[in-house]
């Protein structure tokens, strides 16, 4: 903007407005820089368009006013508190109307291990209280995934490790890779977006992989946005971030934690050779089972047939045996057996003689040997 | 049925083999089970043999992150 001065009695004179605009225009040409300081006088209200804070130099107390659009500030989810050490990335700006000077922040990052750890611990407690890390939430991985999602940086190692572990163990695997930022201020929203994108493409398991890095490098994986994206992911998530000793919060929210990207790769797919062996066993079992059942039915049929064939003979024999028994019982009851023992049956006419008959009565006598006539005396 | 995953086929095949090994199956049902088992086996084997894996890159959405 061109700043016009007026000539007054030989002087070049600027209006306040023109002067401020001139300064503003000049200052706006300054580069964007990082400024380190301590957060004081943090002011944020829902109805304000901007968030205000004062950055204080811890050495000598020098102050710098900082403004940031509230949406952007909220988007960072820093939950910043007064007294925390931060790095503010921004450019100087003049509010021409008032002649005020401030730093317009583009992003703010927490700085210093202590502050980070404290913030991390606060977030961890908060998310744990919501139950995001609960064991009951953990889901089992699919035995054979149809489509594997991989969120990783473009750093070759982690991605290559995961992919080679998967394709070595299970060559028919289908993998959809989402490369994204894995460190720096853009990483957290980018990772969350990548997770959502992969889920939208229908993956049925998801790997979050990143190689080792410094504490700060791994911070995006403890970012609330990433942790929530992992916890809310509709399919199981395997987290393989950093080294064994690092425990970013996304590891706690994931369904399975893998110590390295290779382990993550091996976890999500079955071993093809084992699977083939299983299939062969199942096939053999199918044939064997079917054969055994057919044999068993055959045996049962043969037995039934055999019994059928023998049945008439058996029935005949059984009847004959019964006849013999009956005959035996009949014989036992017949008077003949008594006659054999020396008794005699005496009849007079048709009647059996039980009382001594009148002398001269003709009698028929039967003994074991046969009948003969007699006369009583 | 056509959209059965390998995993579902695997589970069903295992169940059929188990039933056949237990043996309490009538001949008519045996035929059905055995045919179904063979079909599942064929399908699983095809999936293991035929399918060539793929690795696809999702397009990066840099624009979405630049605000």
Phi-psi category of residue A104: left, alpha or beta, with phi > 0 → left and psi -120 to 50 → alpha:
beta
- CA nearest B56 in A: which residue? A176
CA–CA separation, A256 and A140 (whole Å): 8
Interface test with B, best of A271, A282, A300 (most B CBs within 10 A): A282
Tell me what pLDDT residue B67 has: 39
Q: Please state whether B28 falls in left (phi above 0), alpha (psi between -120 and 50) or beta.
A: alpha
Q: Is the ipTM of this complex over 0.90?
A: no
A243-265 pLDDT tens trace: 777 789 999 999 999 999 999 99
Least confident of A59-63, A109-113, B42-46: A109-113
Q: How confident is the model at residue A1 (pLDDT cuts 50, 70, 90)?
A: low
Q: What is the pLDDT averaged over residues A212-236? A: 91
CA separation for the pair A257, A267 (Å, rounded):
10
pLDDT over 90 at A98, yes or no: no
How open is the CA angle B7-B10-B11, to the nearest 5 degrees? 90
B36-47 CB burial, b ≥16 within 10 A, e <16 = ebbebbeebeeb
A279-300: pLDDT as tens digits: 999 999 888 888 888 888 888 8
Calculate ∠ Cα A100-A104-A107, nearest 5°. Answer: 160
B54-58 and A174-179 beta bridge pairing: parallel
Chain B residues within 8 A of A186 when measuring between CB atoms: 65
Which residues lie across from A29 on neighbouring strands?
none
Mean confidence (pLDDT) of chain A: 89
Q: Which of A107, A122, A95, A113 is nearest to A28 (CA)?
A: A95
Are A198 and B20 inside 8 Å of each other by CB? Answer: no
Question: What does residue A130 show for φ and ψ, rounded to 5 degrees?
Answer: -80, -10
- Contacting A residues, span 181-210, partner chain B, CB-CB under 8 Å: 181, 186, 189-190, 193-194, 197-198, 201
pTM for this predicted structure: 0.60
Q: For B31, name the nearest residue in chain A, comparing CA atoms only.
A: A290
């Amino acid at each position: 903007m061109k700043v016009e001065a007026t000539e007054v009695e030989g002087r070049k004179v600027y209006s306040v407005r023109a002067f401020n605009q001139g300064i503003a225009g000049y200052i706006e040409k300054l580069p964007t820089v990082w400024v380190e300081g301590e957060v004081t006088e943090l002011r944020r209200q829902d109805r304000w368009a901007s968030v205000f804070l004062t950055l204080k130099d811890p050495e000598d107390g020098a102050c710098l006013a900082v403004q940031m659009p509230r949406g952007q500030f909220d988007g960072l989810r820093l939950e910043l508190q007064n007294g925390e050490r931060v790095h503010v990335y921004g450019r100087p700006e003049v509010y021409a109307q008032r002649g005020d000077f401030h730093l317009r922040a583009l992003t703010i990052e927490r700085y210093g291990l202590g502050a980070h750890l404290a913030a991390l611990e606060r977030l961890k407690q908060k998310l744990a209280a919501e139950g995001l890390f609960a064991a009951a939430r953990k889901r089992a991985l699919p035995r054979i995934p149809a489509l594997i999602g991989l969120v990783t940086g473009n750093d070759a190692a982690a991605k290559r490790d995961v992919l080679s572990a998967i394709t070595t163990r299970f060559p028919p695997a289908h993998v959809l890779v989402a490369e994204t930022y894995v460190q720096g201020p853009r990483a957290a929203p980018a990772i969350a977006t990548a997770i959502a994108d992969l889920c939208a493409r229908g993956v049925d398991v998801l790997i979050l992989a990143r190689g080792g890095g410094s504490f700060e490098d791994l911070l995006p994986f403890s970012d609330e946005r990433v942790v929530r994206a992992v916890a809310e992911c509709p399919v199981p998530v395997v987290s393989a971030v950093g080294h064994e000793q690092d425990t970013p919060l996304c590891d706690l929210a994931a369904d399975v934690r893998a110590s390295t990207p290779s382990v993550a790769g091996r976890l999500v797919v079955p071993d093809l050779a084992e699977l083939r062996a299983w299939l062969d066993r199942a096939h053999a079992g199918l044939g064997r089972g079917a054969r055994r059942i057919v044999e068993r039915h055959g045996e049962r049929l043969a037995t039934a047939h055999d019994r059928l064939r023998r049945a008439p003979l058996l029935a005949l024999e059984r009847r004959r045996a019964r006849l013999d028994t009956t005959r035996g019982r009949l014989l036992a009851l017949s008077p003949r057996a008594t006659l054999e023992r020396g008794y005699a049956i005496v009849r007079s006419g048709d009647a059996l003689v039980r009382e001594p008959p009148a002398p001269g009565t003709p009698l028929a006598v039967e003994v074991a040997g046969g009948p003969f006539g007699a006369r009583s005396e | 049925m056509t959209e059965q995953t390998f995993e579902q086929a695997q589970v069903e095949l295992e169940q059929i083999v188990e039933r056949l090994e237990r043996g309490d199956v009538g001949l008519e049902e045996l035929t059905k089970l055995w045919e179904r088992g063979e079909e599942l086996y064929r399908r699983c084997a095809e999936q293991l043999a035929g399918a060539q894996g793929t690795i696809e890159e999702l397009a990066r959405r840099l624009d979405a992150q630049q605000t």
